Amino acid sequence: MKKYWAIFKTQVVNSLAYPGEIIWRSMAILLFLWVFTFLWRVAFDTSAATTLSGLTLRDTLWYLMLAETIELSRPRFANTIAQSVKDGSIAYLLCKPYDFLLYQLSVNAGDTVFRLVLTFIFGGALIWGMVGAPPSPWGWPLTLIAFAAGWLINFCLTALIGLAAFVVEDVTPFTWIYQKLIFILGGMMIPLDFYPPWLQRISKALPFSYVMYGPARLFVSPDLERFTALLAGQLAWVAALGVLVSIAYRRGLRRLAINGG
Amino acid sequence: MEGSKSSMRRELKFLFAIWKANLQSAMEYHIAFIAQILGMMLNNAFYFLFWVIFFERFKEIRGWGLNDMFLVFGVTATSFGVTAFLFGNAFSLSDVIAQGRLDYYLSMPRPVLLHAVSARSIPSGMGDIIYGITSYLLSGYFSWGGLGRFVVGVILASTAFAAFLIIAHSLTFWLGNAAALARLLMNAILTFALYPITLFNGPAKFLLFTIVPAALMGSVPASLVRELTWQNLGGLFLGAAVLLGLAIVVFRLGLRRYESGSAIQVEV
């Protein structure tokens, strides 16, 4: 495990090599949340209600802040894996003394840290200024654990898309569609509570909501019961998807043909 | 006069030749090409589900309903697609400048900016175009006259969008590689263009007509499709022309600061 920890630490330092890039990227959250603030203010005004499906305007905007933070700090490495499969550079990683998937996990975890912190700070400052203080801090550690478990689910799903490069020419369309599944069925753009009941049931049963809705909803309404149910679901998905990634990786390697180099 | 006409004809001929070559190059990998088109259509359809769910719950936002969103999505997606498909390098001009790849275009006897932005096509843009037209047809605003206005609106909105991208990426001449900033600005114009303009008021609305001219890509061309008024048409034409002029000026000013290590290479 020591070597993966070293890779993680190196990547954290690497991610700081271009501070301008990381700051501009993190600032994107201001833009999205600003638009959301306009939209949801009008939506609550139109409904002439202070609470919709158990959420106030303040809850909704803090929910969206965390959901956007998760989305913007989420690693997007499917195309990196796909490219290394297509151009054969995966061979250089395979002959090194570490597991390819654990290497990807360490690198992407390292990449996430500062993006997550900066996005949270920028987004939090804006929403605090717009609608007031954040939800109770005692729920924050629980949210962080749920975020980490959701991050692992996202890692497995993204790795599966990247590994699809062993069988298809181009995985880019899959990454777009996955992102939109996260947006809609994950509850990034609207809390799932506002969905019609039938769509809520479907969305909550799928892994996307465990990446996004689960941690964001826990952030605004922290309670132990919600946390344990969420974590149990997340761990079940991590286990199932982890097995699937491992199978896909081994099968992919069998198809790999590298010439020369 | 005759000379400028023939020069324009020559440049148009050149542009069509580049587009033809780009299309042939994309079609070379026809499965990937089709996958990108279908993938982008599906991607847009999933994104639009947000508005379907939203209006299912809230019905109307300050006079805007789901049919207005179909229309604004139609115009914006088509304009985005036209820019991506025909002027794909406008999306990565920062990298071209920062990596010294402008040398190649500077060495050619053709307009540098036009050549540089049209040298690459993004195949998924075709998916945006098909999706955008479908979205317009489903909006309930279709009429033959409206279709003509849709085409005019898309041409002007694409011009405004391409010009905005050129300005954003040209900041690289002054700031070093401004790719991340340009991406942020592109996200800004797209995000604002895809929301009902009636949401915004005061300084926010001013912003959408000036610094981040999203209104020229979404709500103004959509209004033009709904109804022909001189205010809509004139405003859109003027906005697109001013942005294009500004883009050319900013790029030329930037070009004076351009330095490279003689990286003349074949651009494929």
| Secondary structure (3-state) at A207 | helix
Q: Which of B187, B167, B189, B188 is nearest to B178 (CA)?
A: B167
Q: Which of B230, B8, B13, B257 is nearest to B118 (CA)?
A: B13
Asked if the model's pLDDT at residue B130 lies above 80, the reply is yes
Give the residue on B whose Cα is nearest the Cα of A174.
B39
Q: How far is A195 from chain B (nearest CA, A)?
A: 7
Give B42's contacts in chain A (Cβ within 8 Å): 173, 176-177
Is A38 part of the contact surface with chain B (CB cutoff 8 Å)? yes
Residue A68: inside a domain, yes or no? yes
- Cβ atoms within 10 A of the Cβ of A243, count? 11
Q: How many Cβ pairs within 8 Å bridge chains A and B?
A: 94
- The answer to whether the Cβ–Cβ distance between A25 and B192 falls below 8 Å is no
For every residue of chain B, which 3-state class applies, written as one string? CHHHHHHHHHHHHHHHHHHHHHHHHHHHCHHHHHHHHHHHHHHHHHHHHHHHHHHHHHCCECCECHHHHHHHHHHHHHHHHHHHHHCHHHHCHHHHHHCCCHHHHHCCCCCHHHHHHHCCCCCHHHHHHHHHHHHHHHCCCCCHHHHHHHHHHHHHHHHHHHHHHHHHHHCHHHHCCCHHHHHHHHHHHHHHHCCCHHHCCCHHHHHHHCCCCHHHCCHHHHHHHHCCCHHHHHHHHHHHHHHHHHHHHHHHHHHHHCCCCCCCCCCC
Asked if the model's pLDDT at residue B113 lies above 90, the reply is yes
What distances in angstroms separate CA A148 from CA A15, A109, B21, B159, B196, one per listed residue?
19, 10, 47, 44, 35
- What type of residue sits at position A220? V
Going from N- to C-terminal start, the domains of chain B cover 2-257
pLDDT in tens, B208-266: 888 889 999 999 999 999 999 999 999 999 999 999 999 999 999 999 998 876 655 55
Predicted pLDDT of residue B58: 87
d(CA B48, CA B44): 6
- The answer to whether the Cβ–Cβ distance between B50 and A183 falls below 8 Å is yes
What distances in angstroms separate CA A173 from CA B42, B44, B84, B115, one per listed residue?
9, 11, 16, 28
Residue B247 near residue B166, CB atoms below 8 Å? yes
Q: How far is A97 from chain B (nearest CA, A)?
A: 34
User: Environment class of residue B100 by beta-carbon count within 10 Å: exposed (0-12), middle (13-18) or buried (19+)?
Assistant: middle
Per-residue pLDDT of chain A (261 residues; tens, 9 = 90+): 889 999 999 999 988 887 877 888 888 899 899 999 999 999 999 888 899 999 999 999 999 999 999 999 998 889 888 888 888 888 887 888 888 899 999 999 999 999 999 999 999 999 999 999 999 899 999 999 999 999 999 999 999 999 998 888 789 999 999 999 999 999 999 999 999 999 999 999 999 999 999 999 999 999 999 999 999 999 999 999 999 999 999 998 887 766 655
- What average pLDDT does range B172-194 have in this prediction? 90
Per-position DSSP letters for A3-62, written without gaps between them: HHHHHHHHHHHHHTS-HHHHHHHHHHHHHHHHHHHHHHHHHHHHHT-SEETTEEHHHHHH
Q: What percent of chain B has pLDDT over 90?
A: 71
Give B58's contacts in chain A (Cβ within 8 Å): 43, 46-47
Predicted pLDDT of residue B209: 84
Which domain covers residue A204, as residue numbers?
2-255
Predicted pLDDT of residue B176: 83
Asked if the model's pLDDT at residue B4 lies above 80, the reply is no
pLDDT in tens, A134-149: 998 999 999 999 999 9
- What average pLDDT does range B92-97 have in this prediction? 94
Q: Which residue has the higher pLDDT, B81 or A27?
A: B81
Q: Beta strand A51-52 with A55-56: parallel, antiparallel or unpaired?
A: antiparallel
Residue B263 near residue B103, CB atoms below 8 Å? yes
Tell me if ipTM is over 0.95. no
- The answer to whether the Cβ–Cβ distance between B46 and A177 falls below 8 Å is yes
d(CA B122, CA B88): 5
Residue A261: inside a domain, yes or no? no
Is A196 part of the contact surface with chain B (CB cutoff 8 Å)? yes
d(CA B249, CA B251): 5
Half-sphere exposure of B63 (CA within 13 A, CB side): 4
d(CA B256, CA A99): 50
Residue A8: inside a domain, yes or no? yes
- What average pLDDT does range B72-97 have in this prediction? 96
Question: Phi/psi of residue A190, each to 5°?
Answer: -140, 135
- The answer to whether the Cβ–Cβ distance between A32 and B184 falls below 8 Å is no
Q: How far is A185 from chain B (nearest CA, A)?
A: 10
pLDDT in tens, A18-36: 787 788 888 889 989 999 9
- The answer to whether the Cβ–Cβ distance between B61 and A177 falls below 8 Å is no
d(CA B238, CA B87): 21
Q: Which of B29, B35, B184 sits opposite A173 (nearest CB)?
A: B35
Is A58 part of the contact surface with chain B (CB cutoff 8 Å)? no
Residue A104 near residue A11, CB atoms below 8 Å? no
Predicted pLDDT of residue A83: 86
Q: Which of B226, B212, B22, B192 is nearest to B117 (CA)?
A: B22
Q: What percent of chain B has pLDDT over 70?
A: 96
Q: Which of B43, B54, B192 sits opposite A176 (nearest CB)?
A: B43
Look-up: residue for tokens 């990565």?
B92
What CA dihedral angle connects B235, B239, B242 and B244, to 10 degrees? -140
- What average pLDDT does range B7-33 have in this prediction? 89
Q: Which of A27, A174, A180 sits opposite B184 (nearest CB)?
A: A27
- Say how many residues make up chain B: 268
- Cβ atoms within 10 A of the Cβ of A181, count? 19
d(CA B148, CA B144): 7
Instruction: Give me the number of domains chain A comprises.
Output: 1
Which distant-in-sequence residues (6+ apart) come within 8 Å of A48 by Cβ?
Answer: none
Buried-exposed string A13-41: b where 16+ CB fall within 10 A, e elsewhere? eebeeeeeebebbbbbbbbbbbbbbbbbb
User: Environment class of residue B195 by beta-carbon count within 10 Å: exposed (0-12), middle (13-18) or buried (19+)?
Assistant: buried
Give A39's contacts in chain B (Cβ within 8 Å): 61, 195, 199
Q: Which of A39, A169, A174 sits opposite B32 (nearest CB)?
A: A169
Give the residue on B whose Cα is nearest the Cα of A189.
B50
Give the residue on A whose Cα is nearest the Cα of B184.
A28
Predicted pLDDT of residue B266: 54
Asked if the model's pLDDT at residue B267 lies above 90, the reply is no
